Amino acid sequence: MPPRIRLFFSSLSLSMFLLTAVPLYTEFSRRSDIWWTPHAMLVPFAESKDRVEIYVRGQPLAALLQARQLRVAEGDGLSTLSPSDVGFRFNNADSLRVKRLPMLLVYAAGCGVTLCLFLLILTESIAYRVEKAKRDT
């Protein structure tokens, strides 16, 4: 393969590799704690029943709160917990990763294909027709 064409295809395959590798790198280098519900948006106890159930010593937390059986020690005294005192934060990382997985697989396949193409060009395994004819004679 002529040097100009080899240089062109090498640079093309490297740029394509970078275009597919950058999204993969940004996804895997992202902080893992960003998917939690923010403190300002805590889910109230009444709205969290379809997503989480909490048991304390075998009894549901909702029943204990309504019966006013849970107390918190604050300084000198005890105060009873009510359902409005309890809030939840959820980690949504698993559902968001599942949504992004097909695109990440496409990027990974693109990285593999462009890396293979670059290696084929680099090792001169892809022969130009003029070069093949010269080799055969």
Does the pLDDT at position 18 exceed 80? yes
- In this prediction the pTM is 0.51
Half-sphere exposure of 83 (CA within 13 A, CB side): 15
Summarised one tens digit per residue, pLDDT across range 67-123 is 888 888 888 888 888 888 888 888 777 777 788 889 989 999 999 999 998 888 888
CA–CA gap between residue 9 and residue 123 (Å, rounded): 13
Cα torsion through 61, 65, 67, 73, rounded to 10:
110
Residue 33 C-beta-side C-alpha neighbours within 13 Å: 2
Minimum mean pLDDT among 16-20, 35-39, 107-111, 119-123: which range? 35-39
Contact status, residue 17 vs residue 111, Cβ threshold 8 Å: yes
Q: In this predicted structure, what is the pLDDT of residue 88?
A: 83
